[in-house]
Amino acid sequence: MIKFENVEKWFGSHQVLAGVSGEVNRGEVTVVLGPSGSGKSTLIRTITRLEPIQRGRIFVGDVDVASREVNINRLRQRIGFVFQAYNLFPHLTALGNITLGLERLRRIPRTEAKERGVRELARVGLADKADALPAKLSGGQRQRVAIARALALDPEIMLFDEPTSALDPEKVGGVLHVMKALAKSGMTMIVVTHEIGFAREVADTVWFMDGGKIAESGAPRIVLNTPEHPRLKRFLARGG
Ligand code: ADP
Ligand code: MG
């Protein structure tokens, strides 16, 4: 479903992806771990060409992401993205944040957009918050709205970039719970996170990134229980 082939990227003279190769199969969850600055965000941003690459190839299904012929908007429509900082529109309600994209991007009539929005809010446990403005929601609830908003657009793939890193510890569980349910439903996901427990429980594959490379990868019970790479050992000893 997603394939990286020797992907290299520089910011100026600074190489941030130094030959990344890896595959994510349909319906599988890949968790990306690694120290700050190791290239995790850059890697997942390359999938929708939010970051262009200089060498190698990236495929989403049979679409060659870097190809000039690619309809980038159509590609982006297939992929939902949830970032660390929930960027909800502050002047719109939870439901309004979801229906906006459905109406504007997908040309779905308002009544149907609202129905879909309500359904997605229920799926993330926020059926009763449809009319709440973001300021009235907790960080965890805002992040669940951001997930619902992405899901409403019916993506084939969901990318998460440290979705719980900005949250108070007691709000993390609710967001991870929603992500676990999504994984169980068969969504193809790449999740950048420091939540080792989530990786252990949900990931089909773990990638440990270091210095712009996947330094170690495999099933979580192997990578997390018997790490080989010294930096991964230290990373796990510190708790992510
Ligand atoms: P991570 O998500 O693992 O913390 P990033 O992908 O954000 O790592 O960053 C990888 C490296 O690329 C870091 O050294 C970072 O400083 C650098 N970097 C990220 N974005 C930019 C940018 N827009 N311009 C220049 N350097 C950047
Ligand atoms: Mg990052």
Domain ranges of the chain: 2-239
pLDDT 10s digits, 38-80: 999 999 999 999 999 999 999 999 999 999 999 999 999 999 9
Edge-to-edge order in the sheet of strand 55-60: 14-24, 2-11, 55-60, 63-64
What's the farthest any 2 CA atoms get from each other in the chain? 55
Which residue's alpha carbon is at the smallest distance from atom 20 of ligand 1? Answer: 42
Report whether residue 38 contacts ligand 1, using a CB cutoff of 6 Å. Answer: yes
List per-block mean pLDDT (blocks of 10 residues) for the chain, which spans 240 residues.
98 97 98 97 97 97 94 95 89 97 94 97 97 96 97 97 94 96 97 96 98 97 96 88
Closest ligand 1 atom to residue 42 Cα is 6
Task: Pick one of 3.40.640.10, 3.20.20.70, 3.30.750.24, 3.40.50.300 as the CATH number of 2-239.
Answer: 3.40.50.300
Closest ligand 1 atom to residue 51 Cα is 23
Asked if residue 121 lies in contact with residue 145, where contact means CB atoms within 8 angstroms, the answer is yes
* ipTM surpasses cut 0.85: yes
State in Å: Cα 223 to ligand 2 middle.
Answer: 21
Report whether residue 40 contacts ligand 1, using a CB cutoff of 6 Å. Answer: yes
